[in-house]
Structure 1
Amino acid sequence: MYNYKKQVLAAAIAMAISPLELIAQAEGESAQAIEELVVTARRRSENLQEVPIAISPVTSEEIRQRAYSGLEDIAAATSGFTYEGFSTSGTNGNAVIRGMAQTYTTARIQNVAFFMNGIHLQRQSMMNFGLVDMERVEVVKGPQSAMYGRNAFAGAVNYVTSEPTEIFDASITGTYGSDEREDIKVRVSGPIIPDVLYGKINIAETSYDGHTDNDHPFADASVPGPSTSGNVGGWDDQTIAAALKLTPSKDFTVKLDYYKADIEREPQPYYVMTGANNVAWGFTTYSDMNCNAVTRMTTFGAPITANSWWCGEVPSMPTSAPDNFAPPQAGIPDDMGHNSITIDPRSYGAVAETEVASLSFEYKLSDSLTVNYLYGQTSSESKTNGGSADRDPLAGVSTLWGMEQMFIPFPPPGTTISVPQIAQTNSFSGRPISELESTSHELRLAFSGGAWEGSAGIYYSDVDDESYELTLYMPLCSEFNSGIDYGISGEEACSLPADGSVPSPLLGASDQTAQMLALWHGSHAKHTLFDDKLSAVFAEVAYSPSKALTLRAEARYTQEDKSVSRLTDGFGIAPGGFVPSGIVAPEDQEDFSYFSPRITAEYKLNQDQFLYASIAKGVKSGGFNNTSDVGHLTYDEEQNLTYEVGSKNTLMDGSLQLNAALYLIDWDDVQGSRAPHSGGVGDTLIVENIGDAESLGFEVDGRLLIGDNWSTDFAIAWANPEYDDGVTYEEGSLFINYQCNAPIMAPPMVTSDCGNADVGGNQMARTSEWQGSVGINYRTQLAGDWTLTARLDSNYQSEQYVTPLNLANTGDRVITNANMMLTSAEHWRINLWGKNILDEEYVGGVFVLSQFSKMIVSTGIGPSYGATISYDF
């Protein structure tokens, strides 16, 4: 397979460097030309068509016209880029560029680095906080470790906020839409001291009830704190963005940026599928998986046989009734539990506060020398309860809820004993709860002169990061106070009706299971403190021996001094606690150092066409596990070499823009997930370097003007990321393809007869082989000073496998959107928009809990419609 891919790459290179005569260039002059796009992916302003990197920018005008509200919108229309926030609406979101998805979805460090105005956003919960005040969002594809440093392993996403304007500019924008969508945004920008000091402030608030009906009987219950009320998938976000720009001279510029986003988001609609392990634990009595029958030993010590997994396309809506529904029953609709979403109203997906502040200056020492400094400070607090993780949130699961004194009248008379009280509860799991603070400094000296240009600099960052997991078992209908203590009051937020409309709860869990789970409730499991100190030196040099040819080399050397404090294990037990703890190394320290180069050759065929070829190394740093498996307390960095050829072209007298890239990725030491080979009661999955992978792919993006009024934009991407031979997915062997008969509570141990763990040759999980998008645009001048702009677009994404086993998949999807905007020359902008207007039902993502053979299936974003009106003063 590897040789085949090299042959394909060689053939493509030969085609790429040949004259581009296959593209017919129309004769004559066009009435218009595609507007030039400026990007800052290389820390300087450049024409997109002159940068030897595959970049997909989304401009502020596109964000406004297409009513984009988050990263999901951008990913849908960007070739080679996907994003999924899972049921937690982004708390543990996963961004994937060119199929380089991470196996361990909740890992602290991601494969794609995110930045705001050059400042690294280091937590998953900081990826998708909205698009307020964005001048541009750049998706930079391929490893960028030489340029950006830490963890730009598969690529980077740059949020670039707007600059203060040199003339007074103010606007107010309001949105009203379906399902109680209401937005308000006010922006003021302009000079404070003419020609010297400029400022801006942008304040926005957006709220939305959600796009999917919640069929829970108490969906409208009033619950204190963050919750899910009414529909599912809603939000309540507030954003403030401010900036000052000081220009005391033409050679000196100082800029101060501040951005704060407070988000409160409900879970995305989801349902839970469970298999044999869930039955063995005593959580359910029925498996709704459809394949791979296995025999498990239950907590009672008795064997059970049931399906452990799903094979084929995962349904977008639940197809089996919950356990507690045994039709027919009075007061229960016949289809309840089928094709319905029931989310406990105490659920919430993401509650986060993110602040990013930066101070930068640029000083031109001479015509050829410029010095830049960038200081950054970020803080983030994020929490989630994940929503109820029970297969049936209406029935919950039986758990120990305390001890009660019971009077024994005989014999002996008058004595009391303590007996466990079993309650029906819903389980909530916040993974992770995190708090992060970081500071960074970057000093860069850039030079240019004649045939040479380049830069060199130093970087330092200090990161304090705290995280833990929180599991809560909430009695059905009890009030959930989601304040600081995550406590539970004795009052009820709702009551179960006595008329049988909600059946009696299922009693199925054993006392052993209940007592074990009671240890989990309210504890800070895997409570861990991380301290990272990073320093780097970097340089870039480019030499142009002719006007047509430029040779460029970039390199960065990074040193990471990382330490960890493990405060609790997977059950929230500290070292030396009353139950043997899984922590064997409370404190740990490790140094990681690596060299990440990039070499590029650029060749201009003419003023409007050029070719490039590059070899780049991407590095994602190693880290720590919270485990008692002494052989896996740490894991190493992973790295990839990406070979890429590309071409950027402006044709047909500026009416056609056509860019293409072909790449081969050689990925070593993939950081995957696995079960510990030895461990204590609190051990769960850990990160390990599981082997190698490779991917061959291409991307094509284009824009075409058709006459004076029509235009189209299109993108297509193909990727084939596969695990190399010898890669094992022991998590799947132990919990999914399970054939051992060890008791479920036994310490995890992988043996040769536990099923097949080899996934060599399989497609990597959470990657789409094909992506595509096409948009048709119309623009015309109306009477007076009004302009009409309209757009219809469709975005395609092929199926993604849920795990490396390649058994379950999400199916493909086609999302269609439309908008029509009226703009006056001076003041008004009226935009009517619709998203997913054909009501495509699809699986948005699947979060896997293999230990319980459980899948949390989040359904896709449903249709929404609205009108946005802006007035410019």
Structure 2
Amino acid sequence: MKHRMLRSTLLMAGFALASGGALAQTAEPLLLEEIIVTARKRVESLQDAPQAITAFSAADITEARITSIDDVAKLTPGLNYAPLFGPAAATPIIRGSTQTFGAPNVGVFLDGIYLTGKAAMDIALSDLERIEVIKGPQSALYGRNTFAGAINYITKAPQMTMGGEGEVTVGSHGMLEGRASITGPVIADKLALRLGVSHKEFDGYYRSSIDNGRIDFEKSQGAAADALFTPTEALSARLRFSYAKDDSGQPASAVVRANGIPRTVAVALNGGVPVGSPQTYVSELPELGKYLPVNTQRRIAAEPVDYGNRQKTYRTSLALDYDAEAVTLTSITAYNKRDNEYQIDGDNTVCEDSLGCRNFGPPLPTFRPIAFGQSQFATSSEDNTTKDFSQELRVSSPDEGQLRWIVGGFYYWSKVSAVQRSLSPMLPAPPAFGYPLSRLGTEAKSLFASVAYDVTDALTITAEARQEWEDQTYKQRPTVTAGVTAGDASLRNIDLKQDFKFFTPRLIVDYKISDDVMAYANAAKGTKTGGFNTGLRVLESQFTYQEESSWNYEAGLKTTWMGGRATTNLAYFHTDWKDQQVACQNPVSLGGSSTQRTYTCNVGQAVINGIEVDAQMRLTDILTASVGYSWTDANYEKFVDDSLTATLAAGGLPPMNFNGKHLPYVPKNKLFASLKADFELSPGYEMFMRADVNYQSKSYIRADNLAYIGDKTVADFRTGLRLDNGVSVTMFVENAFDDRTPLTAVRFFDSVNFSIPAPLVTGAVGRKAGVTLNYSF
């Protein structure tokens, strides 16, 4: 790691020196671009918002080639990204508020519209005007599941003047990306349209060692139509429809055991853990080879089945604004539908005679004949459809004046229908087990308000609050799918219902020390709803889990200096987190053998302290530097769990005490540095270069703090040419030094060793390179 950091630093220094020969070629003011945000449901400058926000403009998105939530996280202090079971199950983590089960801790929004569940990460980041990462609880203004913060993607609106853009990218590993958009008036000053399409292909970085098939490939297409109608100066209506089709391979993941010998432990290689615990991995998790023991095509009843995730997403929204001078009325209506199906390797291993897994002998069952044409132990599969509707109404005062206020209401419902099943030909008949047909329903209603009062010209106090009511229902029925009966005895009829009631306030005080310096402090309560545990062999007493809550305290300083050439923003935060929703294990009997099942329970309490620094500076008329750093100390304060005892040793250990242990998936240190140069080569030709280096320290994958992902450093470089006719060409290298430290890992069921859990490691994508051709007018 130190060598990678040294190479990155030296290369960035050389980059700066190489750019130095073109100094002082323009007379434009050396000012940073001002970014306007709507994080508080008002239009304001990023530097005037009294809370920690990282925002990316349209220029930032293009120059840094931000195409995924992973790219956003690399350039945002305090934001991490953990795709625990692939991109479709991506988990953003803000300020150490980690989450692996249940609803997300971070709410994701598109044009202010809440997107349901982890599928929100599947958005193709194209045709965006801005990205806002809002840190700390946002429950007062944003509502449900903004427990740790919110990410808001803002799309480009239709324009009353003609314009458009087209872009094509080709690169290594079969990379092919294209997008195009056009906007313009249909009726002058009254009606404008914006149309856009996008396409993306990536062959994947990893391959199957079994059939050489592609694993982590991606293929997606999307289209959007957007209309802006302004019949009067006071009234505007924006109607938007988008469609996306995504097809991706299964995650590049593999099980890593304590050593290379199935069902055997070498104590010396396993951190001295007793022989009675062959499942415990104690060390830094290794990089994965490029070939993984994962089948990509398997035959079930002679029918070929491609493994991976496929989904279609439809989004429709209508935003109305009416300016009545004294107040502004706003309505946002949205309806979304997502059809998803996935089928993935359920064991991430290959079963061959050489491994001795045809017949373990008592007490494990004999491997079933390969009647399904499979060489694996287990397959995980699901078909689901998600529908949701939301309606927000709010009334707001003008942005000027000593007293400013917002009052509103919000209504939301979602319905998720799913057929879930697993196949395991090694188990005694029937060879299918898993979840049956299920229906999950959610209905939420809330009222919210925000009042800001200027006590003096420098001092402002803002109070916000939301009252929310939420009802949840769950129905489960056994079913028959593809001629295979889900025959486990625990698959019974289930009808569940629960409701929640929350009050989430926030108080903000900000003081303008000068025109360029603002100090602020705030206190906010965050709450996240509970839910249902409906997995195989979950006890009735574990069917539900309750809400979790936190109090977050933040103090910060926002400064603009050197006449607008530089900004430095500092923030300190402290979070008290109680009734934490964590993963617990329940010992069960499956196929005649003892194993464990994971469910969500409320047993944890945690304390998080952190510091964030975000700085930018125009060094010269061509050079701009950015630096971001976050230190996050996230530890369990009260977490005693006897359900995890079996994962450390066989026999009677006392309940495990995790007090003082670091929360999983939270690196203590995270740093990025960027340097970019723009200079004129000759009239009509402008050259640009950019270097980004991102570092994060190690992070644990479980509460026991035994296995961990090592520190990683990723460097990206770009250079290109812009012409004054709107054409630009960019060459880029991402992960230039080929850091393949695992992307993430999670505790998993090791099917080769059957009842023994082991880390499931997801590999990082190695070095990629490509060229982008862009034309805009």
TM-score, normalising length: structure 1: 0.78
The one-character-per-residue Cα deviations of 1:775-832 (angstroms, maximum 9, x if unpaired) are 1111101212222111011001111101100001000000000001321223201111
Residue number among 219, 242, 267 corresponding to 1:236 in the alignment: 219
Residue 580 of structure 1 pairs with residue 484 of structure 2: no
Aligned-residue offset at 1:269: 2.8
Aligned residue in 1 for 2:211: 218
Q: 3-state SS of the aligned residue for 2:218?
A: strand
Aligned residue in 1 for 2:453: 543
Alignment of 1:350-361 (within 5 A): 350-361=309-320
Aligned-residue offset at 1:854: 2.0
The one-character-per-residue Cα deviations of 1:830-859 (angstroms, maximum 9, x if unpaired) are 111110011112111102125631221111
C-alpha spacing 1:775/1:578, structure 2 compared with 1 (3 Å): closer
Aligned residue in 2 for 1:142: 136
Aligned residue in 2 for 1:68: 66
Residue 779 of structure 1 pairs with residue 678 of structure 2: yes
C-alpha spacing 1:76/1:53, structure 2 compared with 1 (3 Å): same
**Distance of 1:154 and 1:116 partners within structure 2:** 18
Q: Indicate conservation of the 8 Å contact 2:132/2:151, yes or no.
A: yes
Residue 724 of structure 1 aligns with an amino acid whose one-letter code is E
Aligned-residue offset at 1:573: 14
Residue 757 of structure 1 aligns with an amino acid whose one-letter code is M
Residue 89 of structure 2 aligns with an amino acid whose one-letter code is N
Q: 3-state SS of the aligned residue for 1:91?
A: helix
Alignment of 1:719-798 (within 5 A): 719-725=632-638, 727-734=639-646, 736-740=647-651, 753-754=652-653, 756-798=655-697
The one-character-per-residue Cα deviations of 1:341-386 (angstroms, maximum 9, x if unpaired) are 34322264432222221101000112x3000000011112223323
Alignment of 1:854-869 (within 5 A): 854-869=758-773
Residue number among 114, 117, 127 corresponding to 1:123 in the alignment: 117
Aligned-residue offset at 1:690: 1.0
Residue number among 601, 605, 613 corresponding to 1:692 in the alignment: 605
Q: Indicate conservation of the 8 Å contact 2:352/2:358, yes or no.
A: no
Aligned residue in 2 for 1:391: 349
Residue 471 of structure 1 pairs with residue 422 of structure 2: yes
**Distance of 2:462 and 2:482 partners within structure 1:** 51
Residue 374 of structure 1 pairs with residue 332 of structure 2: yes
For the pair shown, which has the larger CA radius of gyration, 1 or 2? 1
Aligned residue in 1 for 2:235: 252
CA RMSD in angstroms comes to: 2.9
Q: Indicate conservation of the 8 Å contact 2:458/2:513, yes or no.
A: yes
C-alpha spacing 1:813/1:394, structure 2 compared with 1 (3 Å): farther
**Distance of 1:853 and 1:275 partners within structure 2:** 10
Residue 849 of structure 1 pairs with residue 742 of structure 2: no
Aligned-residue offset at 1:391: 3.0
Aligned residue in 2 for 1:438: 388
Residue number among 453, 456, 459 corresponding to 2:410 in the alignment: 459
Q: 3-state SS of the aligned residue for 2:256?
A: strand
Aligned residue in 2 for 1:94: 91
Name structure 1 gaps, 5 residues minimum.
1-28, 221-227, 296-304, 319-338, 401-418, 475-513, 741-752
C-alpha spacing 1:275/1:870, structure 2 compared with 1 (3 Å): same
**Distance of 1:872 and 1:580 partners within structure 2:** 61
**Distance of 1:670 and 1:569 partners within structure 2:** 34
**Distance of 2:673 and 2:258 partners within structure 1:** 40
Residue 824 of structure 1 pairs with residue 736 of structure 2: no
Aligned residue in 2 for 1:706: 619
Residue number among 175, 186, 203 corresponding to 1:181 in the alignment: 175
The one-character-per-residue Cα deviations of 1:44-103 (angstroms, maximum 9, x if unpaired) are 2211001111111122222222222211111111110011223x432222110001101x
**Distance of 1:429 and 1:146 partners within structure 2:** 42
**Distance of 2:737 and 2:469 partners within structure 1:** 51
Aligned residue in 2 for 1:206: 200
Aligned-residue offset at 1:861: 1.6
Aligned-residue offset at 1:315: 0.7
The one-character-per-residue Cα deviations of 1:378-418 (angstroms, maximum 9, x if unpaired) are 11222332335233366799679xxxxxxxxxxxxxxxxxx
Residue 331 of structure 2 aligns with an amino acid whose one-letter code is Y
C-alpha spacing 1:466/1:852, structure 2 compared with 1 (3 Å): farther
Alignment of 1:270-349 (within 5 A): 270-274=253-257, 284-286=262-264, 290-291=270-271, 293=273, 305=276, 307-317=278-288, 340-346=291-297, 348-349=307-308
Residue 353 of structure 1 aligns with an amino acid whose one-letter code is K
Q: Indicate conservation of the 8 Å contact 2:675/2:691, yes or no.
A: yes
C-alpha spacing 1:387/1:581, structure 2 compared with 1 (3 Å): closer
Q: Indicate conservation of the 8 Å contact 1:542/1:551, yes or no.
A: yes
**Distance of 1:709 and 1:361 partners within structure 2:** 42
C-alpha spacing 1:379/1:709, structure 2 compared with 1 (3 Å): same
Q: Indicate conservation of the 8 Å contact 1:662/1:698, yes or no.
A: yes
Q: Indicate conservation of the 8 Å contact 1:312/1:807, yes or no.
A: yes
Aligned-residue offset at 1:431: 6.8
C-alpha spacing 1:196/1:420, structure 2 compared with 1 (3 Å): closer
Percent sequence identity over aligned pairs:
25
C-alpha spacing 1:30/1:784, structure 2 compared with 1 (3 Å): closer
Aligned residue in 2 for 1:493: none
Q: Indicate conservation of the 8 Å contact 1:428/1:471, yes or no.
A: yes
Q: Indicate conservation of the 8 Å contact 2:623/2:676, yes or no.
A: yes
Name structure 2 gaps, 5 residues minimum.
1-26, 298-305, 360-366, 750-754
Q: Indicate conservation of the 8 Å contact 1:762/1:804, yes or no.
A: yes
Aligned-residue offset at 1:261: 2.0
